[in-house]
Structure formats: structure tokens, C-alpha cells
Chains A and B, each alone.
Chain A
Amino acid sequence: MFRFSKLSYSAQRRVVIFSFSLIPVVLLLTFSYLPVFNMFQYSFTDWDGFSEMEFVGIENYITIFTNPEYFSVFKVSLYYFVATFFQMGIALYFATILSYQVRFKNFFKGVLFFPFLLNGVAIGFMFLLFFRPEGTLDTILHALGLSEYIKLWLGNPDIINISLAGTSIWRYMGFNFLIFLGAISSIDKEIYEAAEIDGANKWHQFRYIILPGIKMIVSLNLILAISGALSAFEIPYIMTGGSNGSETFVIQTVDTAFKYGKIGLGSGMAVVLLLIVIVVTVMQRKLVKED
């Protein structure tokens, strides 16, 4: 990739690698890994956040692994997991068609990205208005003559997670969309032009030029989205507080740690979650590579 022929560059290289990485790595260690290290320590104690810490060995982990209820909430994650693929698909679809010639291009880009600009509390509030009986959604269904499909969108425990996962798609799709849009623009335009001359249709262009061209960004987004599904938190927490069967693992962790004052146990749960996320991520990377 580069030349070793000039010795001075090789020396430069070392200096550059070291100095360019130094500040980011120091920040990373201080604000990400040090707290995790502390959390790991807490997970072996019975700390309640205020009293003296007492070392209890692996007691917290025994509690977690002997209570299947702690893991049953992961089925809620499945909804967010499935939603992830819809979210990616929609984002990729819109990013691709908006990379070509389209009327009112900037308008559509702006509007599709818009939801990402809103803050979480506003979104929670907005969707409570949206889902409540005779709220925004029901009003629309009435107008479309679809009144018979009206349900208790949050009141029905079979639907609540779909509603919440849908809210999550609405909120984050714009983000994926923007990232994909930017990534697609990094692909050299001439490649399309050449392909077009060779008679490749739009699907082929997407399949053989765009997708491979932005593979790295897509797979990163997928990793982030899947780990996000496992640790889904903000939307259900703001909207329902985890009630009516919408509790996720992180809500459970936060409640255990801060509501019931069991920082030790909560830390143990967070460590378990982190390990699960790492395992899933590694598995996913392996799968993607074999592809």
C-alpha cells in the first residue's frame, strides 16, 4: 500500500500512527472503558449506590442465570430485531432512488430525514398522541374507510411492541438514509455511466455496483442496529416505561439498578448484556464474511 523504500517515511509512519491515535484512544479509554471496568467491579458487589460496597463474588451472576424471567424479556428484542431489517431496507431503497434523477429531490431528502431531527421526549409524546384511541392514527384510518382495523395500539399486549418498534423505525430510518446517501455518493459516477452503456438495468446497478460499494457502511449499520435492538431502551422507556409487556433488557437493568437500588445486580445484568451483544456481533461478522 505504501513504500518502504524511503526510510524517513517509515519513521514518519510510526510517529503518525502513534500521534494520530493517541488522543482518540485516550478519550476512548477514559470515557468508555474505564466506566465499563468499574461496572464490571460493581457487578461483584452488593452496592446500592449509597451504602458501603461489599464483595459478594459471583452471587449476582448466579441470581441472573437462575432466574429465567431475566431473559424472557429478550423476546421483546425480537420485534426490534425484525424492525431493523425493515428500517435498513427502507433506508437503502430511498437512498438508492434518490441518488438518481428525481424531481423535488431535495424536498424528499429533507422530509425523509426530518424525523431524525426531533428529540426523544418530543417523539415519545407525539406517538402517544398518534396511538391513543381517536388519536392521529385512528383519525386517518377513519378517513380512509378502514375503521374496522382500529385497535388499541398500545393497550393490546399483542400489538404494543409492533407499535413501539414501528416508532423506532420512524425515528431512526432518516439516520440510516443519510449515511447511505452519503456513502453512495462516494461511488464514482462514471461506473454507473459505463454500466448504463453496457445495458445494465437499475436493479443490476444496485446489486453489483452500489451494494458492494457501500458494503462496509451497510454492515456497520446492521451491527449497530442489531446491537441497538438487543439494547432497545429510549422509545419504550419514554412511551410506556416498559409496562404492558414492552419491557426490554435495558429497561429491566436500569430499573433494577436505580429504582430498586441494586447497582451490583444491575451492573451484572449490564455485563451479561454486553457479552451477548459482543457474541452476536462476532457471529454476524463471521456470517457476513462467509457471504
Chain B
Amino acid sequence: MNALKKTLGAVVKYGSLIIGAVVAIIPIIAIFFASFKTSGEYTTTGPLTPPEDWTFIENYIRAFTEGNMLTGFLNILIILFAAIIGSTLTGSMVAFVLNRFDFRGSKILIGAFLLATLIPAVTTQVATFQIIEGLGAFNTRWAAILLYLGTDIIAVYIFLQFMQSISVSLDESAMLDGASYVDIYTRIILPLLKPAIVTVIIVKGVNVYNDFYTPFLYMPKSDLHVISTALFKFKGPYGSEWEVICAGVMIAIIPTLIAFLALQKYIYNGLTQGSVK
């Protein structure tokens, strides 16, 4: 009886996982196939028809070279580096203050962050542009960095969630040793936040990496282009080369996928492992 229940449970569990995986993958297969097709082949064959020649990598070569992907990778690395470090610091600092101290205005502070994410950004672009230009950041990497830095609520909440489970007794014992609040933040909280930081890096990283709107509007100079904008090199007003765009999409996915696979183990390692419970 129990064994039957267990098998049934396993069937449901794995069945749903496999369905989920298939649903997630199938639409992407069409892109993957298309990236190996010639343009004639692309328009005449169905999306789930495999390409005739798997060694046809012309699209990848074009996407990489004509799309200036090398420059793109360099630019996005600089921006990602600054934006991620910045939003990890600002996000965890705000979360630290909100979680560890109970002060007047704390509700307003978190409310202000929440409210900010509810504003549809497309509608405020005219004013935002004037601010960026006024700061002299237009057509520099700073424009993107500053806009991505404006701490988003999701980072704050992820940090808050994790901080809840970091016992205050850790702070207290540190205080007995004479540690200041800044010490507590840098020596106790930040290291313990590692899984949360990794989550923030992934989520923020993917958002920044895929955003094409900000680089287009605020840094249109050719040598400031990033990966996501490379795809548009093949999309002109009179036509688009979809098979090259598909190859570009595949190239763009690879680093994010590697980063995700490399970092994911930190997320699941549990929180307070190895520290005082």
C-alpha cells in the first residue's frame, strides 16, 4: 500500500517535471534549429524541421562578427560588474537597516521602494532622459549603470527574507566582543547572505543582460553597444534576417546558462550551514 503510494507519487513528480521541462524547451528548439538554416531553408521549412546541414555555422559567424559581439561582451561585463556590486551593496544595506532596526520611517522606506517598482518605466522615459543628460551620463556606460543601480525592490526583499533567518543572537554575541554595526554588517551578515547574493546576481544579471531598451536610448554610440543590441543589427526597417538573429540569441544564451549552472549550487546550499545555530 505504502509502496504503491510511493510509486504513484514518483510518477506524478517525475511526470510533471518532464512535462514542465518539455514545455520550457520546445519553443526554444525552433530557434536552435533556425540558427543552422540558410535563409532560403528558413522560409521554406517548418519550425520543427531539423536543419539540413548541422555544420552550417555561417549565421553564428555573422552574428558574432557583424554584431560586434566581442565589444558587446566587454561592455556588458563592465556594466554588469558595476551594477551587480552596486545593487548587492545598496540592497543589502537597506535590508540590513530595515531588518535589524525598528525606526520611524522604516515603513515609508520600504513602501517607497515598493512603489517605485510599480511605476511603468516606459511612461516616464522623457523625464528620465533629461535627468541622465543633465548628469552628463548620456552616451557613457554610467547611464546604464546608474539606471540599473536604482535599487530594485526584489533585491531588497530577497535580502530581507534571508536576514530573517540570520539569528540576532549572532549580532549580540559580536557586540559583546565590541563589534560595531558596520562590523556586524560586513563580517557577519554579508558572508551569510551568500545564497541570497547569488540569487540577486542571477536575477539582476539576467535582467541587465537582456535589457535592450536602456542601452539603445541612453548609449546609442556604436562602441558602447552590448549583447542584446547586437540582435538588432539584423533587423532593419525593410527586413530582418531571422536566422542570424536566432544564432545571435543562441550565442547570447550561452554565457548566462554557464553562469547559472556554475552559481546555482550556492543558492541551494542552505543558509546557516557551518555557522552558529
Contacts and interface: CB of A to CB of B under 8 A. Distances in A.
Given A24-B151, A35-B124, A114 B175 contact: no
B118 A277 contact: yes
A274 B127 CA distance: 16
A78 interface: no
Interface in B197-249: 198-199, 202-203, 206, 210, 212, 228, 231-232, 235, 242, 245-246, 249
Contacts of A216: 157, 160-161, 164
B81 interface: no
A21 B97 contact: yes
A134 B127 contact: no
A38 interface: yes
Given A28-B116, A121-B231, A217-B161, A130 B27 contact: yes
B120 A231 contact: yes
B17 A97 contact: yes
Interface of B: 13-14, 16-17, 20-21, 23-28, 30-31, 34, 46-48, 90-91, 93-94, 96-97, 100-103, 109, 112-120, 122-128, 130-131, 146-147, 149-151, 153-154, 157-158, 160-162, 164-165, 168, 171-172, 175, 180-182, 185, 195-196, 198-199, 202-203, 206, 210, 212, 228, 231-232, 235, 242, 245-246, 249, 252-253, 256-257, 260-261, 264-265, 267-272, 277
22 contacts: A1-B168, A6-B175, A12-B180, A12-B181, A27-B90, A28-B151, A42-B127, A110-B264, A120-B212, A121-B232, A126-B27, A126-B31, A136-B47, A139-B47, A170-B23, A175-B203, A178-B202, A178-B203, A185-B270, A187-B165, A217-B158, A266-B123
Interface of A: 1-3, 6, 9, 12-13, 16-17, 20-21, 23-25, 27-28, 30-39, 42, 49, 90, 93-94, 97-99, 102-103, 106-122, 125-127, 129-130, 134-136, 139-140, 170, 174-175, 178-179, 181-183, 185-189, 214, 216-217, 220, 223-224, 227, 231, 233, 250, 253-254, 257, 263, 266-267, 270, 273-274, 277-278, 281
The 10 closest A-B pairs by CB, nearest first: A38-B127, A270-B123, A35-B124, A35-B127, A32-B116, A119-B210, A31-B150, A182-B199, A20-B93, A24-B90
